[in-house]
Structure 1
Amino acid sequence: MKALRVTGVNKIALLDLPSKKAESGEILLAPIATGICGTDLAIIEGGVDPAFITYPVTIGHEWVGRVIGHGVGVTSPAIGTRVVVEGVIPCEKCRECKTGATNRCDLYDEIGFSRDGAAAQEITAPAKLAHLLKDSVSVESAVLVEPAAVVLQGFHRVSPKAGSKVLVIGDGTIGLLAAKLIRLYKPASVSLLGLRQEQSELVKIAGVDHFYTSEEELTEKYDLIIEGAGALTAVAAALNHSCRGAHILLLGYPDHGAKLPIVIDDLINNDLTIHASFSYTQKSWGEIVALLNSGKIDLSFIATHKFPLIEWESALATIRGGNHKISVPRGKVFLTLGVD
């Protein structure tokens, strides 16, 4: 089978690998599509904390697939079923797992990081972590379950209040998802600070009231600031535009080891609360799937660029294009695997 394999830092290729076999308790799946994001670039370039990555690895942690085989003891989901599978694989025995914090499992294991991901023609995964999707849920929305669950997990951390003035920083996938999903909490207004005017149509569909492409344009303070850009300048902007008593949610990932000097006086005097949120739990994943299956949300507008697996280099180039080299809207970039 073909698989997009990272064998070391800056070593990536589409390789021929042996076919997968589902072990006891597992299902064998044929991926339909898999998203590619900045974290995948970090995996390729060595920017991920070494505690969370094992090389060699097939990338692909945002994906949807069809069940094509069962391991011993598995009868469901049925062959042919379209599913999304939780990537974080909890041990279910440690203190964190027992309290529901499966994102903080002591024995970290995650598809696309410590075990092979879905940028391949086949993948195996624990059957118990598969979630069925209704036919009404598009492939595009399905690919976005993982990052949407990350955003929702962050919201569980901050418990957004109705009537809040919200600022989202970042006009990429995480920022767009945050702007879309925060509407579930009935904010008074949602503003978004990005970098590219070309994103304006996507930002509008996400439900943003005010879109800015320069921090100098911001004249207000906000109750809740959601940082989804993964840049130190974005964290600084969040601090600069917090009202007293504000909550700041950090969702974006700068490179491993990045540091930012902070004026502690400002944090204390302004009674600020900073929340860092890691990954997602089984609860937040299930909630996103339920929202999609119910038709309450549609995330397909965020998926803007599709490439067949064989054109993986073009997909990576699109992401690496930066904020000023691509003159069209860019949301989620994903690879199609030739099945549906």
Structure 2
Amino acid sequence: MNKSKKNNYSYGSSGVDVELGRKFVEMIKPLAQRTKTAANTPELGGFGAVFDIGSCGFKDPLLIAATDGVGTKLLLAEEASAHKAVGIDLVAMCVNDLVAQGATPLFFLDYIAAGNLDISVGTQIIEGIAQGCKEAGCALIGGETAEMPGMYAPEHYDLAGFAVGAVERAAIIDGKKIEAGDQLIGLASTGFHANGFSLIRKILTSEGIDLCDTSSFSPGQAIGDALLKPTRIYTESILRALAKVENGIKGLAHITGGGFYENIPRTLPKQTTAIIDASSWSPPPLFKWLQRAGNLGWQEMFNTFNCGIGMVVVVEPTQMEAITATLEENGETVSHIGEIQKSSKINQQIIIQNFETQWD
């Protein structure tokens, strides 16, 4: 009776390179060290990361946590080899959610999953994450890299980010104090940020537009470069405005997936409506280009994209000038985009007016 020869299996034969994973961790340790704060020692590789919140100076803190990803923008980043950019995006999407509640970002963790680990690509991603953490003032204290052959195509990867911040209990921004008469100011975005890219990719494919094509809206700039510009991080400017103008900011809305219609109501109390004047800021040429390329109506634009406004700030009317000045001093482009009115219509918490002058 013949016995069939048995194969010799190993983890490596399944497509997982454990040694490469160890090498990757060693390569990115210096990047994490750049984000070190007084409250942590980013020694990657342990079972858990340690953070000393007691050293941060809070008296009665609440912890705020946020998690997010970059969505299908990753597919364009893979095509254009813009891996560092999406690392910045990953941090921005999380920390902007924290500061929308008045929280100071403390630390960040990342998750990278790939069909096959490419050390060069992975290092570029972590470079972007470290840069984003530095901009946000938080520490990269840990993460996970998973090589998952069969789950992802060899050249594809996915990202997830996790951020934790803190705010004094008495200073949390929860929108409860918002009332009729409060004013709305918008902080300019850097582009599409990290939302709406499934629609963007659909338009690019259907209309035969290549990332390398020179844009008609910015001479000399490739379309891919414009689309892949990283998400703006608003933490420093907003935290400085909160510190300088006490009780001036009543609410903050990070304009992400769902655009104006989904995100602004998240910060509003019942019986209030945000009245947005769409003529109060100039649409960035990138957005108008996409609107024409995809034949998109203005409602689709405002329901999907940030339309040039990445953060909406609800302010006390008497403090609007001081808050605007502080934000502009810290690098923000600010527009007065509307106001809060009283409303009895529970399901209508945002009305966009004058859209025809800019978006029709």
Query: Which TM bucket (shorter chain)?
Result: under 0.3
In proportion to residue count, which structure has more strand? Answer: 1
> Could you state the TM-score of these two structures normalised by the residue count of structure 2?
0.24
In proportion to residue count, which structure has more helix? Answer: 2
Structure label with greater radius of gyration:
2
> Could you state the TM-score of these two structures normalised by the residue count of structure 1?
0.25
